[in-house]
Structure 1
C-alpha cells in the first residue's frame, strides 16, 4: 500500500486510483491497469518491482527477447505485465479467482499484449501439470497469498520447471532461512539465495537452483 504524501505529484504523472497498478518500465511504462478488489490480493509495490526487475535485468544481461515467464499466482498481474512490457517472449499468468482472471484478460486486451497467456486454474495443480508436460521457464514469479504455506508447497515444484540458469522471485511475509550456517527447511533445500531485501512488511528474494542440483 502506498503512503500518502503531502507533496504535489510531478506534472504529467498519472493519478493512481485505489485499485490500480502502474507499469514502471518497458513499452507500456506509466500505463495504469485496473485491479479487482479481492480478499488477499496485494499487488507488489512499485518500489519492490523496480528493485526486483533491476535484479532480474542484471541476471539476464538486459536481454528479455527470448525469456519465458511464469506467474502462477498472478492476482493483479503486476509482475507478469511488467515482464511483458520489458519484452519477454512469453508470459503465462495463472489464477484461480474468476473475477481476477477476467480483469487480467481485459488488461491484456487493452494493451494488445500478444505475448501474454492467461489460464484459470489452481496454481499447484498447474505447476505439476506443466512439469509433467516438460514445460520450462526462465523466470518464475511466486507471490502467493500469505498464511497458507503456498510458497513452501510451490517452490519445490518449480525446480522441475526452470531452464538452466533460470530464477525464481519469491515474495513472503518473512525472510527465507537460506543463510549459510543456518538450518534450511526441506522445502528450501537445493536453492541458492541470489538477492534479498525488505520493504515494509514485504520480504522479497531472488533464488536459483544450486549448480549441482538436477
Structure 2
C-alpha cells in the first residue's frame, strides 16, 4: 500500500497485522479523492482510520490537519508509525471509540472540512444511526463526507447525496451539507 499523490506520493504505508483492519486499496483511495476534489488547507477527520491511509493521503495532498480515530490499539500504532516515518505534521491519533470521540468533538464545537468514514465492512448498519446523528454536527458548513463501504451497502446520512460509486467490492459515497 502506497500514498497515491501529493508530497509523499509513492511512499509505503504499513497496515496493522491481523484480520481486524482492512486497509483501503490504492484504487479506491484514488477514486475517493477524485470524487472529493482538492483538500488543500482542509481540516480532516478520519473515522475508523485503520492504517491511516485515507487521512495520510489527505495530508499528503495538502490538508492542514487530520484527526485519526480508531479504537484498535494495533491500528493506532500503525498510524503513528506511518506518520512518524513520513514525518507528517498536523496529525493527532485518538485511540478511542468513534462514537464517543464524535460526541465529544460535537460538544466542543469542532468542525471539519472533510470527514472520511470507513467502518468495518458489513457493519454499516451498526454505525449508521450514530453517524447520522453526529457527523452533521462536526461537519463544516461547506464540508464533505466520504464513506467507504462494501459494494452492496448504500450508506444513508441526513446530508445531500452527491454521488455513490462502486469499485470492485467497495463503494464510495460522497455527501455534503443540505
On whether the aligned pair clears a TM of 0.5, the verdict is: yes
CA distance in 2: counterparts of 1:39 and 1:167, whole angstroms: 29
Query: Which blocks of at least 5 consecutive residues in structure 2 are unaligned?
Result: none
Which structure is higher in RCO with an 8 Å CA cutoff and minimum separation 6? 2
Aligned length: 175
Runs (4+) of structure 1 moved beyond 3 Å? Answer: none
Could you tell me how far 1:175 is from its partner in structure 2? 4.1
**Match in the other structure for 2:148:** 171
CA distance in 1: counterparts of 2:126 and 2:53, whole angstroms: 19
**Match in the other structure for 1:157:** 134
Cα distance change of structure 1 residues 63 and 199 upon mapping to structure 2, 3 Å threshold = closer
Query: Which blocks of at least 5 consecutive residues in structure 1 are unaligned?
Result: 1-20, 178-186
Query: Which structure features the higher share of helix residues?
Result: 2
CA distance in 2: counterparts of 1:154 and 1:63, whole angstroms: 22
Cα distance change of structure 1 residues 133 and 99 upon mapping to structure 2, 3 Å threshold = same
Residues 48 and 70 of structure 2 are in contact (CA less than 8 Å); yes or no, is this contact kept in structure 1? Answer: yes
**Match in the other structure for 1:128:** 103
**Match in the other structure for 1:45:** 25
Larger Rg: 1 or 2? 1
**Match in the other structure for 1:86:** 61
Backbone CA RMSD of aligned residues: 1.5
Residue pairs, 1:3-42, within 5 angstroms: 21-42=1-22
TM-score between the two structures when normalised by the length of structure 1: 0.77
CA distance in 1: counterparts of 2:17 and 2:83, whole angstroms: 18
CA distance in 2: counterparts of 1:63 and 1:90, whole angstroms: 10
